[in-house]
Structure 1
Amino acid sequence: MSNQAQYVTGAVAAAGVVGGIYCAYQVYQSRKNKLPEKWTQVGTLQNLYAYPVKSCAPVVLDRAECSILGLKDGWLRDRTLMIVDEKSNFVTARAIPELLLIKTNVRNSILTLSHVDMEPLHIDLAEVVALKEAKPAFVWGVKVPVRDCGWEASEWLSRLINKSSISYRLVYYASQNCRSPRNLPNHKYYKFTKNDMGALPDEVPYNLINEASIDDLNTRLSDCKVTHKNFRPNFVLSGTAKPYDEDNWKFVKIGENVFEIIKPCGRCVLTTTDPETGVRNAKTEPLETLKSYRQIEDPEVRKSSGNAPRMGLQMALRSGPGGVVSINDPIYVA
């Protein structure tokens, strides 16, 4: 990289860090007096995951830093990259299950994508930040600023997905602030703020699964079994919590990091695709079983949310930025 590019990269990174810290600090200051003082331990952090590219395979972590945009570890950041089509609309494994088999790795600023049928692809995210101008893309119809990761990534993804060289692009989120919220009817029932949407996740930057709830679900499934990986969580709780105890929680604390539960996580067809093989369950399980007993109970909320069953929690950071979560950290609730 040229000296000029290095200078621009450093300047952009420094500005981004300052901006991100300031934004998160303001959120923390406005919320800190409202945080619970009494907590009950319900277990420990069993698994920790980040998903650098939306809908692609996760990275397994031992520790990570918390920001308002989600988990981060240096250049590795949760759902800050995504694949878009020719109209700059995001695409996911709901429509293209093969995306789940794209493995991701980030070392320093180098993103590596790999797939069993493809040669590895290496992208320098620092160069993308330094040399590419921001342009618009769309997540659920909401405009988001992104930087294009180049023709090599486009050619690689397009060959994998549909043997074309021009259909898909890889883009990188181009802001340190959360994206704008979706204008959904059910959002009026939940405590969304402008700082709760993260970068490119569907709704919020943090998702927690209670392992006991997954175990209970498996007792109800007759022809298949699932794991927490079907639900793509950031945090997996193991401990004394009973199945679906999470329905009654308002806040979660992992180590010293406090999260507010924004809403239960409504589940879609993505849960029916095996994350290891990319093969979708012929009977649409576990989604059909979840629909039989995990619907939203409030009739008004359900009317505006549809029939997506609940499994897991969607959360936003309420403590100060920069806190670290680690495997085996105690998990408390209020």
Structure 2
Amino acid sequence: MSASLTLTGLYLYPVKSLGGYAVPEANVTARGLRHDRRWLLVDERNRFMTQRQQPELALLAVAPAYNGFLLSHRQRPDLLPLFIPFEATPDRTLFVTIWDDMAWAWRGTPEADEWLAEALGRPCRLVYMSDMVRRDVEPEHNPEGQLVSFADGYPFLLIGEAALNDLNARLAQPVLMNRFRPNLVFGGGTPYDDDNWEEFAVGGVPFRAVRGCGRCVLTTIDQQTAAKSPVGEPLRTLATYRMAESSTLFGQNVTGPGQGRLRVGDAVTVLSRK
């Protein structure tokens, strides 16, 4: 079965909880795909902001640009796109909180903060995680001492196309893969076979599937309009058949080797199972 599996999608989300975009190839780093979730929005208390509390973050689209990316507002053509470099400069720093972690971060520019405050209608700051910051994967699932960016808890999220097809067959209104914000999408195989994966390789680059990804209300937000599903879909349907230990699971949290290069079309090979 593993010989028929293929990497069909690679996705970057340069700013946590904002839009993402597909890339044909990407470098693997110690914290995930290069440039993935290295930027973060924080509120007045320097606490992280996500679509869970601020669904309108979905309206901030991200597009690739030379040595950085462009932010634009899907419903505000009057706001000119804003260029953000992939890396910040260490001119100004502050401590930020993400979940139970506290980390120091470099500030973005005042112009970026002003643009985002106008776009969201509230004060906020854009901050960057440098390579000098250490934020660890959950200790109980991290014997290798793996690092993570501003992603929720793991450097990679893997989802199979067959799983989404199976879910959509159960829904009155199908949803797009972007509801689940994966980094790695693969085609082939049977739905949820990756539940049992342990070690696998993508184009010869080794990875470890650590545990299923518990899903939250973010999956109920349309990533084009920021509208929430009035009936809680697809989370409600997922909960009828994908519950385990009080979590609704879809996709796999994954750790990686810290280096390598991935390309869409790479073979995905299952090396061992749980």
Task: Indicate yes or no: 2:264 matched with 1:314.
Answer: no
Give the counterpart of 1:210 among 160, 179, 184. 160
Number of residue equivalences:
268
Tell me the distance in 2 between the aligned counterparts of 1:111 and 1:216: 34
The change in CA–CA distance for 1:124 and 1:230 in structure 2 (over 3 A counts) is: closer
* Structure 2: 5+ residue stretches without partners: none
CA contact (8 A) 1:109 1:124 kept: yes
Map of 1:55 onto structure 2: 17
Map of 2:268 onto structure 1: 331
Task: Indicate yes or no: 2:73 matched with 1:115.
Answer: yes
CA contact (8 A) 2:104 2:133 kept: no
Tell me the distance in 2 between the aligned counterparts of 1:110 and 1:221: 37
Tell me the distance in 2 between the aligned counterparts of 1:291 and 1:220: 12
Map of 1:180 onto structure 2: 136
Q: Deviations over 1:29-72 (max 9, x none)?
A: xxxxxxxxxx9324111111010000111121000011111112
Deviation at residue 274 of structure 1 after TM alignment:
1.1
Tell me the distance in 1 between the aligned counterparts of 2:195 and 2:144: 24
Q: Deviations over 1:189-212 (max 9, x none)?
A: xx3247334110001010110111
CA contact (8 A) 2:15 2:39 kept: yes
Tell me the distance in 2 between the aligned counterparts of 1:330 and 1:310: 25
Map of 2:151 onto structure 1: 201
Tell me the distance in 1 between the aligned counterparts of 2:113 and 2:16: 15
Map of 1:137 onto structure 2: 96
Counterpart of 1:60 in structure 2: which amino acid?
A
Q: Deviations over 1:278-316 (max 9, x none)?
A: 1111100010111111011xxxxx1xxxx3211001101
Tell me the distance in 1 between the aligned counterparts of 2:85 and 2:195: 42
Give the counterpart of 2:61 among 103, 119, 134. 103
Task: Indicate yes or no: 2:110 matched with 1:160.
Answer: no
Tell me the distance in 1 between the aligned counterparts of 2:190 and 2:86: 42
Alignment of 1:1-334 (within 5 A): 40-72=2-34, 77-116=35-74, 117=76, 118-124=79-85, 128-129=88-89, 131-162=90-121, 164=122, 167-176=123-132, 178-181=134-137, 188=140, 191-193=141-143, 195-222=145-172, 224-239=173-188, 241-296=189-244, 302=245, 307-318=246-257, 321-333=258-270, 334=272
**Which structure carries more helix by proportion?**
1
The change in CA–CA distance for 1:322 and 1:196 in structure 2 (over 3 A counts) is: closer
Q: Which has the larger radius of gyration?
A: 1
CA contact (8 A) 1:46 1:236 kept: yes
- 3-state SS of 1:208 partner: strand
Tell me the distance in 1 between the aligned counterparts of 2:144 and 2:73: 36
Deviation at residue 101 of structure 1 after TM alignment:
2.2
- 3-state SS of 1:88 partner: coil
* Structure 1: 5+ residue stretches without partners: 1-38, 297-301
CA contact (8 A) 2:44 2:124 kept: yes
The change in CA–CA distance for 1:68 and 1:124 in structure 2 (over 3 A counts) is: closer
The change in CA–CA distance for 1:42 and 1:197 in structure 2 (over 3 A counts) is: farther
Tell me the distance in 1 between the aligned counterparts of 2:259 and 2:136: 22
- 3-state SS of 1:202 partner: coil
Counterpart of 1:259 in structure 2: which amino acid?
F
What is the TM-score normalised by the length of structure 1? 0.75
CA contact (8 A) 1:295 1:309 kept: yes
Deviation at residue 260 of structure 1 after TM alignment:
0.7
CA contact (8 A) 1:178 1:195 kept: no
Counterpart of 2:251 in structure 1: which amino acid?
G
